[in-house]
Amino acid sequence: MSSQTHEVVFKTTKDKQSVKADVIIPSTASTSQKPLPVLVWWHGGGLLQGTRKGLAPHLQNAPEKHNVIVVSADYRLAPQVRMPEILSDAGDVLSWIQSDAFAKITNNKADQTKVFVSGSSAGGWLALLTASGLGFKECGLTPPPKPVGCLAIYPISDLKDSFWNTKQHPVTYFPRVIDGEKELGENLDPKSAVLTFSALDSPRSVFYHYMIQEALLPSLLLDGTGINPEAFSVAKAISEGSITLPPTFIIHGSIDDKVPPRQATDVYEAAKAKGFKDIELIIEDGKDHLYDRDEKEDMASMYAFLAKYAV
């Protein structure tokens, strides 16, 4: 038997936009057994592109293999919205998981007290932000319910890093300079239609590379908001004592040239310096961005961490 996938449409708190999420329930789940933990995952793409359908094989297999309910959620994409809307959408998912509606769709098979947040790349950043509550106040938002754990996969963590603020013509890993006006067109226009996802093979699929090329991430996410990029700097906030993290697992490839590994190590080192005990970092030697999309990658250490705190 295979997992059951339920597509859910919910209205966002901010602006009442329709956003979709997939709830994937293992076939072995039953109301007679102990309720299952919930793993919420957000896709990457710099908060500019991507889709909830971009689940790596290990995430697709997780419900059956690890007996966990997976929620893969979309969110509105920049620059047609900015960070306040994106963070609001992420927070809405966690609030919705606490609702009677979520209990009903899972037929009471979910343990709503055992929620873990995860994500890849920019989605890993959303996981760190929702787990800590960082940036919500500055965005005029109420932090979502605290998860019991965070599983960040090669996450972005600091908009002030020089990587996001230094132009590359061309990007080191991309064979040519991208003509943004020609290739991205209206996708660059903040006033064009708001998208809640983009297909992995759409014209928007080069947006991330163009953003790095032109060092645009802070402006694409924050222009017009008046919010300081440091409001979302995870390691800095930990060092200052303004946030804490639940048990947190971070994993990153050592040769990642799309998100520097220091985005992960800085968070880990700040947390250890502050005496955080329940934090783990793994740097996968010789592995690049998106390495976990390989079918051979089972991410066993990540799921072992989840199991440890799901008891």
Q: What CATH number corresponds to the domain at position 112?
A: 3.40.50.1820
Position 200 in a domain: no
Q: Is residue 99 part of a domain?
A: yes
pTM exceeds 0.95: yes
pLDDT attached to residue 32: 61
Question: Would you state the pLDDT for residue 1?
Answer: 59
Ordered per-residue pLDDT tens for the chain, 311 residues: 588 999 999 888 888 889 999 999 999 877 667 899 999 999 999 999 999 999 999 999 999 999 999 999 999 999 999 999 999 999 999 999 999 999 999 999 999 999 999 999 999 999 999 999 999 999 999 999 999 999 999 999 999 999 999 999 999 999 999 999 999 999 999 999 999 999 988 999 999 999 999 999 999 999 999 999 999 999 999 999 999 999 999 999 999 999 999 999 999 999 999 999 999 999 999 999 999 999 999 999 999 999 999 99
Asked if residue 189 is part of any domain, the answer here is: no
Residue 16: inside a domain: yes
Structurally, the chain folds into a number of domains equal to 1
Residue given tokens 């800095």 in the structure block: 236
Residue 203 lies in a domain: no
Whole-number pLDDT of residue 36? 96
In a domain? residue 21? yes
- pLDDT at site 45: 98
* Parallel/antiparallel/unpaired status of strands 69-73 and 36-42: parallel
How large is the greatest C-alpha to C-alpha distance in the chain, in angstroms? 58
Handedness of CA 54, 6, 153, 128 (dihedral sign): positive
Q: Based on C-alpha coordinates, what's the Rg of the chain?
A: 18
- Measured in degrees and rounded to the nearest 5, phi and psi for residue 19 equal -130, 145
Range of the domain at 158: 4-162+218-309
Q: Is 172 inside any structural domain?
A: no
For 106-233, where are the alpha helices, taking DSSP H only? 122-132, 180-183, 207-214, 217-222
Find all residues with CB under 8 Å of 302, minimum gap 6, and list them: 151, 153, 249, 251
193 is a domain residue: no
